[in-house]
Amino acid sequence: MGHGHAAAASFGWLEGGILLGAIVAVVFLLVWFFRRTERHGDGLTAEERRTLERPERELLSMLRQYGCPVPQSRIVEEAPGGFDRVVEYLHDLEAAGLIARVWDPKVNELMISA
């Protein structure tokens, strides 16, 4: 009758250590994945902070802090670098899928949202 006892006795310290290590690794990977996509006070993720150039980070942060679509002319006025540079960075952010620029016929201007 002692079939269950024999199976439990064959589970040793090595198997327990491997199981515990696997559980810790899975928890670590889950925490890393969610922290990687977490936004900080400036509205940027760690990945965006690492991969984007400084002017792009500043523009994206500015747009996310507005929290609603903003006229492109307002961004060009407030951001340093002049019209051509700012529009170039906005184009790069749009190509990366981080912002969207949509023409609004009511205000006759591009509206930018992040």
The predicted structure's pLDDT at residue 104: 93
Same domain, 108 and 61: yes
Task: Give the pLDDT confidence score for residue 8 in this predicted structure.
Answer: 53
Could you tell me which residues come within 8 angstroms of residue 60 by beta carbon, excluding any fewer than 6 positions away? 43, 44, 48, 52, 93, 98, 99, 114
Residue 87, amino acid = V
Residues 55 and 85 in one domain: yes
Low-confidence ranges of the chain (pLDDT < 50): none
Domain presence at residue 70: yes
Does residue 23 share a domain with residue 56? no
Q: Which two tokens stand for residue 37?
A: 């996509």
Bridge partners for 71 per DSSP? 111
Please count the structural domains in the chain.
2
Q: Would residue 41 count as lying in a domain?
A: no
Identify the domain containing residue 77 by its residue range: 51-113
- Clarify whether residues 57 and 106 are in a common domain: yes
pLDDT for 37: 57
